[in-house]
Structure 1
């Protein structure tokens, strides 16, 4: 499970609410946390005042979230929020970034200079995105996308590790097919075989996976509809979105403006979204 979290949105109610809910999960209760507040670069005269205010904000946030101070590292940094979050995640070696999101679409996010969209696009680390318009609940019903890829397997593992610590927690695996496929000689379709293998892997973690196959040409929309019907409290997805390896400081515009499945889910999912990223390869 996650050993160090970067909470990059202190002062925003839904993120704090999500962190409070996660405290019910034993491994999250013992995880170290870096709590980041970014102030804009400015003159020395103004910086000192802003830093004091920021430190007070972080102190209040720690109290509101009910965190043990011994495992929290409060950080006040100057600079651009987007770049600073990525930099601090590397410096602190955090294995999960938690951020709020206004739920803006791709083009809106670019025009609005969205920090969460930028980090979502460029980070190689898992992210937990909590939209401002969601009602955050205790995590009991978890849904995970099943796609048969390596990063999809990582997403399943993360979902299982969460659910195995939740008394009465349930896990649903959803696989989207574009059209009905004929069964093989053994009577199982490729989707059946994929979900059967996922269920077997989940059992190795002591978790019973409820398998669900849904049909739809738009994968993101189908996943969001399935999550809504299952009343999921958390949606875990594998994100294979391409990220630029050379121009690290640039948003990957063609992907942002294209048909990214994980971006659609980020904007439209009826629950907070945990994105498990594909490890970057040079």
Structure 2
């Protein structure tokens, strides 16, 4: 049925729920799980006014801090998938606009299902469906499971 499932994970509770569903599907179908965490690139202006600091010194730049946080989220999701019994898991991080990056990554890597949480860590608390999950379902030609 599925050979490669892409899980978009942003560190939120919704993403953890999506991970549980994706893990179940992987165990059921023997599919590989690919975890993708997307971070947003920041402009030079945003980086210059950022309060991001590392150990009391100026942190390299905002993109480096975002990339590092995304790596931690991805590694956590990969470890959690392992504890849920998924035998084959890979984790990746990418910078860019979330929905488009998720869909492009899935297409380029031969994924046949995208799994996303219905709401993540964005400021979309008042919506029935988060803006990223909504956009992924709108632009993807690959089936999308929203948890």
TM-score (structure 2 length as normaliser):
0.69
C-alpha distance in structure 1 between counterparts of 2:136 and 2:89, whole Å:
22
Residue 12 of structure 1: aligned partner: 12
RMSD: 2.7
- The answer to whether the 8 A contact 2:7-2:22 is kept is no
C-alpha distance in structure 1 between counterparts of 2:86 and 2:21, whole Å:
17
> Secondary structure at 1:101's aligned position in 2?
coil
Residue 46 of structure 1: aligned partner: 62
Residue 191 of structure 1: aligned partner: none
- The answer to whether the 8 A contact 2:34-2:91 is kept is yes
Q: 1:89 aligns with which of 93, 102, 106?
A: 106
> Secondary structure at 1:85's aligned position in 2?
helix
Higher relative contact order (CA 8 A, sep 6+): 2
Per the TM alignment, residue 24 of structure 1 is displaced from its structure 2 partner at its CA by: 4.6
Per the TM alignment, residue 60 of structure 1 is displaced from its structure 2 partner at its CA by: 1.3
> Secondary structure at 2:14's aligned position in 1?
helix
Residue 151 of structure 1: aligned partner: none
Per the TM alignment, residue 51 of structure 1 is displaced from its structure 2 partner at its CA by: 1.4
Residue 117 of structure 2: aligned partner: 100
- The answer to whether the 8 A contact 2:3-2:32 is kept is yes
C-alpha distance in structure 1 between counterparts of 2:132 and 2:31, whole Å:
24
C-alpha distance in structure 1 between counterparts of 2:24 and 2:139, whole Å:
30
TM-score (structure 1 length as normaliser):
0.38
**What is the correspondence of 1:103-182 to structure 2 with a 5 Å cutoff?**
104=127, 114-130=131-147
Distance 1:93 1:72, change over 3 A: same
- The answer to whether the 8 A contact 2:40-2:66 is kept is no
**What is the correspondence of 1:132-281 to structure 2 with a 5 Å cutoff?**
none
- The answer to whether the 8 A contact 1:10-1:61 is kept is no
Distance 1:6 1:55, change over 3 A: same
> Secondary structure at 1:93's aligned position in 2?
coil
For structure 2, the residue ranges without an aligned partner over 5 or more in a row are 45-59, 120-125
Distance 1:46 1:68, change over 3 A: farther
Q: Number of paired residues?
A: 123
